[in-house]
Structure 1
């Protein structure tokens, strides 16, 4: 009998009673669901703390790097070159004169009438570079027309050392194969090209592409060249237009040859270090604010947040504050407050005095380096602190793993409870159905007996 018909036979509110029983049983499911939501919120909150700690770790590592605290910047008014500097450079001024730019070698073949006409079949194309290396291209099964050679060369291993294209000079035999070295400078130039094993009896492919430096041949050459420049009167040669190592820690990118010499200035760049410190302060404050938000308690609503009372959140907050305080170094600037970084006593957040910070970098860079990047400096302390929380064996992952297990356990509890409730409700249905049927039968018997008694009474009256 369907649930909706329970009680019809007996006239009892069995359907409503069944609904009330289910609502009562479902309270156990609602409790588990509440715990599931709480666990999921806790897991999400751990992820937020992890992101904040990762950002703090990145910021701490940056203020501990020599290239941050020893950053240098370059400036020049010359159009002939640009420059960049690493922390290994030495501040100073240099006179740079760009005489010639490095260029790649080009080789151009004689023209052919039909760029799609194959020149024999198969063979091996061998290219020898000026640095003494040789590289081969197998032409077996390869289209040996001008178009086919362009495709084969450009799809070959880059070690071949050249790129190919087709020129059209507009003549009777207009199509010329042009090979260009993939790198500038004389070392990357082609010293020789040889085609062997081609089926053409006149070896036309060798006649078209054969080349040897210094020997007249079919290919027209525009020779490679090295860049040449002077730095403070000292002659420098470079295979490329990017000159590294001529000035320690400085890279020059040559743009234009000739013209007047240009002045290159290499100076300290305290702006990079200043920004790194500010980024660290921001990352620290973001972590503290995140923890505060996730552990707060609303007194009026009497409701906590995802991590109210959570030990992991409090541990992160405490260890971050511990790493920030209680250390100093030698020199004129020995503490964070002396370089302009102080803690607001009411909020616990860091504040930066821009003027003091700028003065510390300008006048006491060595002390600041020791304070931030020294053996027991701020960077190392926070790198160690954040390392305890991050990684596959860190505090956060352990907390996440525990929460994941709890979520899975709660789901099993929910599933088991659902099965138990359904079994119990099915038992109630059977019992109520039987009761309804029995009451209906009793009602029928009662009506029959009443009718019979009434008939007997009528007979007696007669």
Structure 2
């Protein structure tokens, strides 16, 4: 038998004796604390899973409760494969209808070109004394301060530098036959916005005066023009390629001239609504699955009143009547959502589409609006989800219990450490006394042996 430092004097295994006495008093109580902490940790983890499932479901409920979801519109262009001649975007005010649209003409800016006899070189001087040059396109005006001895090339660079924010640019074109053409282009579209030049305040050299500015003219087809489309046989004009008021609720953009009219159908955005309802159904089923998993027999949240009350309230809400007066539907189960025997939901796309074709607004009113299902569920879940919800309140309570239990365990361990120290002190004294007695016994035996 090994003898520790405690018991060295007496030859007894006092170290094991102290350890056994401490263990007899400590181990059972410590295990109770540890089991209690493990239970709290498991409960906290389960409440975390439940809270995440509730928050996820509430997110889909809030999305479903957005009135814009059901007011959205889709604009579909017939045979839009390949390069389209126009685009259409519908807002929620657009009527669900069909239209015939054709692009007859695109809007474009204008261009000025110098006379063929005006210039032969890009280095020719425009003016020796300088002055002011004005370019006008509709309500846009660019005034240039032309410096003395400015060349044709330098004037081009000045127009490009100062005109970039006005949609005006200049260029030089050499035809290879000794002719230099000076061009000025404006991106300002629309009939009546053709570029005009005024050099009356610019003192020109004789070369320029002989044909440069006076010789700048609009070539055939260089005039600014409107865009034109035909909507259901009606001609519509616009200064730009954008037609934002041709049809109420539609933004039409002309991209290319159409060889023939194209059909445009504006319909409800059923695809986005379907995706949201499917997400709602899936998140509800996930929530029910988490409830069942954590409240099953032997599970840590078995019998939890919060989950029991929420499950009951959710079922009641789902089965309630949310129809408005005159609606052909009475509940969400008339429009594609189905209750299954195991308490989960299913989605029937065909049934939803039939209901949407019958009365889309009535379908929307079941889910959203003041008296819709989503509004009711949103209000219900507000008490359970989020930082101030009931689930978080339970988690806070469990967290406090963990802290309290850990503190109690720490206090108990401190008491056990003091108890062990007390035992060691007592057994050290005993060991010392036994050592002295052994020494005295050995001395007496030694004396007796000498007689």
Give the TM-score normalised by the residue count of structure 2.
0.67
Residues 222 and 446 of structure 1, relative CA distance in 2, 3 Å threshold: farther
Instruction: Provide the residue aligned with 1:48 in structure 2.
Output: 49
Residues 399 and 31 of structure 1, relative CA distance in 2, 3 Å threshold: same
How much is the aligned-residue C-alpha RMSD, in angstroms?
3.9
Q: Distance in 1 between matches of 2:374 and 2:15?
A: 70
Within the candidate set 335, 351, 356, 1:361 is matched to 356
Q: Distance in 2 between matches of 1:67 and 1:192?
A: 50
Task: Report if the CA contact (8 A) 1:85-1:250 is conserved.
Answer: yes
Within the candidate set 327, 332, 347, 2:328 is matched to 332
3-state SS of paired residue (1:323): helix
Task: Report if the CA contact (8 A) 2:336-2:347 is conserved.
Answer: yes
Residue ranges of structure 1 left out of the alignment (5+ in a row): 106-169, 172-184, 196-204, 299-304, 457-462
How big is each residue's C-alpha offset from its partner over 1:64-114, in whole Å with a ceiling of 9 and x where there is no partner?
Answer: 333333443222276123333333321223344446768999xxxxxxxxx
Instruction: Provide the residue aligned with 1:352 in structure 2.
Output: 347
Tell which structure's C-alpha radius of gyration is larger: 2
* TM superposition shift of 1:378: 1.0
Instruction: Provide the residue aligned with 1:176 in structure 2.
Output: none
Matched, 1:224 2:187: yes
Within the candidate set 393, 401, 415, 2:410 is matched to 415
Residues 322 and 212 of structure 1, relative CA distance in 2, 3 Å threshold: closer
Residues 306 and 444 of structure 1, relative CA distance in 2, 3 Å threshold: same
* TM superposition shift of 1:443: 1.7
Q: Structure 1 stretch 444-453 or stretch 72-81: which is displaced more? A: 72-81
Instruction: Provide the residue aligned with 2:236 in structure 1.
Output: 234
What is the 5 A alignment of 1:53-452? 53-76=54-77, 79-98=84-103, 222-226=185-189, 228-230=227-229, 232=231, 233-238=235-240, 244=244, 246-252=246-252, 254-256=254-256, 260-298=260-298, 305-330=299-324, 331-345=327-341, 347-452=342-447
Task: Report if the CA contact (8 A) 1:86-1:249 is conserved.
Answer: yes
Q: Distance in 2 between matches of 1:247 and 1:427?
A: 94
Instruction: Provide the residue aligned with 2:134 in structure 1.
Output: none
Residues 187 and 359 of structure 1, relative CA distance in 2, 3 Å threshold: farther
3-state SS of paired residue (1:297): coil
Q: Distance in 2 between matches of 1:294 and 1:193?
A: 81
Q: Distance in 2 between matches of 1:86 and 1:401?
A: 46
3-state SS of paired residue (1:389): coil
* TM superposition shift of 1:49: 1.7
Task: Report if the CA contact (8 A) 1:333-1:368 is conserved.
Answer: yes
Aligned length: 359
Q: Distance in 2 between matches of 1:454 and 1:86?
A: 120
Give the TM-score normalised by the residue count of structure 1.
0.66
3-state SS of paired residue (1:263): strand
Task: Report if the CA contact (8 A) 1:84-1:250 is conserved.
Answer: yes
Q: Distance in 2 between matches of 1:83 and 1:286?
A: 39
Q: Distance in 2 between matches of 1:446 and 1:63?
A: 94
Q: Distance in 2 between matches of 1:439 and 1:187?
A: 116
How big is each residue's C-alpha offset from its partner over 1:412-458, in whole Å with a ceiling of 9 and x where there is no partner?
Answer: 223222222222222222222222222222222222223323434xx
Q: Distance in 2 between matches of 1:403 and 1:98?
A: 68
Q: Distance in 1 between matches of 2:431 and 2:146?
A: 104
Q: Distance in 1 between matches of 2:165 and 2:144?
A: 6
Residue ranges of structure 2 left out of the alignment (5+ in a row): 111-121, 124-136, 148-156, 173-183, 191-226
Q: Distance in 1 between matches of 2:83 and 2:404?
A: 70
Q: Structure 1 stretch 249-258 or stretch 368-377: which is displaced more? A: 249-258
How big is each residue's C-alpha offset from its partner over 1:362-390, in whole Å with a ceiling of 9 and x where there is no partner?
Answer: 22323322322243221111111111112
Q: Distance in 1 between matches of 2:90 and 2:356?
A: 19
3-state SS of paired residue (1:12): coil
Matched, 1:20 2:15: no
Task: Report if the CA contact (8 A) 2:53-2:290 is conserved.
Answer: yes
